[in-house]
Amino acid sequence: MSTLQAIRVGVEPMRVVGFAALAGAAYVSMGTKSLHPTHQVSIQNSTDSYVYISLDGVTDHFMIPEYSGFFWDITTNKSFGVGFYLPIGTRFWVKQINGAPTEGEVSATFIYGADI
């Protein structure tokens, strides 16, 4: 007998940092920690400045140019419970690189899988 397995997509609330919060040189937390093992992450930078993204608030991990985004498909073609995930409790941090932005925001969305 075969057992069908299905996965539903869950999306956590978007975490947003407005341009005014990026005026300094230090990393700024992008909201609360993730609540689920994360399959995919979407980060959008709608500011007029390049930004660094960090997973620990200290180390520069990713650079995102102004008015662009980054989509990280961590568990490509893997089923629920199998694969490579960002762990529960992951938090992203952001800081400006080339001067304080004057408009926009940086947002992050965690996408996860759950049993149906």
Q: Residue 7: which of 37, 50, 30 has the closest Cα?
A: 37
Q: Is 61 helix (H, G, I), strand (E, B) or coil?
A: coil
Contacts of the segment 55-60: beta carbons below 8 A, 24+ positions apart: 55/90, 55/91, 55/92, 55/93, 56/93, 57/27, 57/29, 57/91, 57/93, 58/27
Tens of pLDDT along 48-75? 999 999 999 999 999 999 999 999 988 7
Report if residue 85 sits inside a domain: yes
Task: Give the total number of structural domains in the chain.
Answer: 1
Q: What is the pTM of this model?
A: 0.86
Report if residue 34 sits inside a domain: yes
Report if residue 4 sits inside a domain: no
9 pLDDT higher than 90: no
Residue with tokens 């689920």: 36
CATH number at residue 109: 2.60.120
Residue 16, domain extent:
9-115
